[in-house]
Structure 1
Amino acid sequence: MTAHPAGQFSPGQATAAERDFIAGVDAAQEALRALFAPTPLQLNEHLSARYGAQIFLKREDLSPVRSYKIRGAFNFFRKAIAAGAEGRVFVCASAGNHAQGFAFVCRHFGVHGVVFMPVTTPQQKIDKTRMFGGPFITIRLVGDIFDQCYKAARDHVEATGGVMVPPFDHADIIEGQATVAAELVAQLPEGVTPDLVVMPVGGGGLSAGMTGYLADRVDPSGFLFCEPEGAPSLKRSLESGHVVTLDQVDNFVDGAAVGRIGDLNFERLRRFSAEQTLLLPENAICVTITEMLNLEGMVLEPAGALSIAALEELGHDRLAGKTVVAVTSGGNFDFERLPDVKERAMRHLGLKKYFILRMAQRPGALKDFLALLGEEDDIARFEYLKKSARNFGSILIGIETKRPENFVRLKTVFDEAGLRYQDITDNEILSNLVI
């Protein structure tokens, strides 16, 4: 897709390549209706009131597999089968949404597929993939990490002459994911054009597709890409001018934790500025997950909450008066993760902290310490780390409170009492060892 010169954007002025892409997406959307109806585009009153804006949510968490990944998989299968691949075995490597979309589409077309997953994949994801694919899929658990699993899938394709279905880096996948944009154009109120379209980014298939389809409708500056801080593959690539492979990736936001954005996707996104990519702390995303669950009854996975978390980062002043579309990309949340998500959210909000204290080993020392706590302070964890000290012992303590400013008072009281302590809440290495 070509970029419109700065300051010269006019809606409806698509290039020939953009028109061809839009036509392909429209055809994909029409075919997709045999599988499921459009996902809703909902005006969210809670978020709209908070930011003084019109905030629409494109609810991809309400697709048949609770993510947009089914779209690209369907379009890939549709075209591959039309080209004569119906008798071949389709293969994918995934432990998440791509596997579930792949399985659903295998059953729809009545073709056999093999899903490679790491041995470490949670049983819940294995069971859901098997449920969607039924007798049309075989699941193989190989390797401890995704790279080993992916290599096994590639080897299987080469050995059997199968068809590899990539998760994001393919023109047919991009075209399928772009049907999200085609639907929202039809769903927006008449005469309404988004000032800002907010999209999560992992491998880049969704953002490459949506920006392509909306190229003649939304100013290039009106796109915002969201990545977790621990996996900034698009931002680093835009800053460098070429695709960058990250040395390390934080897998907490598993649906967007990609170490290398797709090559084809980057070519379609390189026209954007690195400043249009917003990095969000993993713990801030947890705040959004818990808030949307408690207030709106929405179940969002970490990647699905990225675009809403971005609104909080932008704030009222930058959003007031605007029309915003935020894509909630997925809702495959394992509730066994909820305690960790709540913990991370409280730490981000400043409502929970962990300290290592040096406490005298004498009768009444613990009672004296408890007297320092305020009425809104609660001990969530208490553990002796060093029990053999003669005069002093080290203690790990977790404290929850109702207002973050309570910790300012608490630290002042600790200092006045001559209590030696270390706040390890944000010390990632130390907290991971002892918490």
Structure 2
Amino acid sequence: MAAKRKLPPSPLQTGLNHAALSLLAFGGIVGVIALSIQLMGKEDHASPKQIVGLFSEEPRQAVGLKERLSDSDAHHPSDDEHGPTLAEMDEPSLGISDPGTADPHETDDSHGDDPHEDDTPSEYAQAPSAAGLPRAPIEGLYEAGAYGKMPIIAADGRTPFDVYKRPFSNPAGRPTISIVIGGLGLNSRVTQAAIDELPPGVTLSFVPYSKNLQTWIDKARAAGHEVMIEFPMEPYDYPNNDTGPYTLLTTANASENRRRAEWLLSQATGYYGVTNYQGAKYATDARAVSPVFEMLKERGLVFMHDGSAPRSVFETVAKSEALPFAEASRVVDADPSGAAIDEQLLYLEAIALQRGYALGTGFAFPITVDQIRDWSSTLDSKGYVLAPASALPRAQPELGSSGVRSQG
């Protein structure tokens, strides 16, 4: 009887066995390494990381050009009962009552007739510095309006533009560059930094919805900065892109837009002119723009286009209304990064060499304040002069007995 003999495994079976053993061994090694990392590794070294010191806190969504920054935990210049609360500032209305409801100025008697009766911060209870501008309002340049003090042309022909702008001279005729930083008043930390760190020749533009707006304007003028006020204007995606209840609209009639403009102008005193906040759609409608520009001219103010609306009729309407006008050549922080801002500032230098002057605008991003501060310190050595925006040739009105006329 033949003995039974066990046949050797097939080559296929041998290969599969070896593969299984290899996988088990590899899995064991990986497991040991993972356990070692878990027990002994440092979490901070687990992945590459980049920290950008642009904001002290993360925005809730992507930050766009001139997006309004709310004060989530910042210290306000005076934490009184007036103005929007922090919770209200998170609402689309920006904490401002609807135009169809009673205005807060009509029901709040604590303000009285003097806009300086707010709880002014104790650190500001001092005389302006030598570089400071006179405190507003100046007698003869305002009247009582439905919502507060309104700018007017004085009986002797002086305009708010004449009196509230920063004095400037350039006897050597060097190329001038002007910068306007907008969006101020809503974020107290950035607003204070702009006032304190930027040279007085930088013009500051404030949001009319800001809490304690007059206090901020007083502080800016005491530091030597001339100031403007911003008019929120209808963007193409309004009301999804909410610019507040006093937004100037293409769908509103002339009377309503003038009423809204009157509310905006009455929120503070001491500004020499107005600039736009957004308004890409509004800027294309001459019918809507004309009555507002007529009102600005009647009150001795100027208008500056921040350069963000490419198909604007602002200049054409300003000429027809004889309203002094200026337009920015560059928005320096459309890309809010240090390298991009520096590049735009170089463009402004080139424009100033060609034309003799240049105007740029930016928003109150911390990075913008830092870059403008550092860049402005180099201008003198380069042969440029930092000029307030009011010094631009086309923003200079001729004075006559009837008020302001443009140079054409």
When normalised by structure 1's length, the TM-score is: 0.24
Structure with bigger RCO (C-alpha 8 Å, 6+ apart): 2
Compare CA radii of gyration and give the structure with the larger one. 2
User: Higher helix fraction: Structure 1 or Structure 2?
Assistant: 1
When normalised by structure 2's length, the TM-score is: 0.26
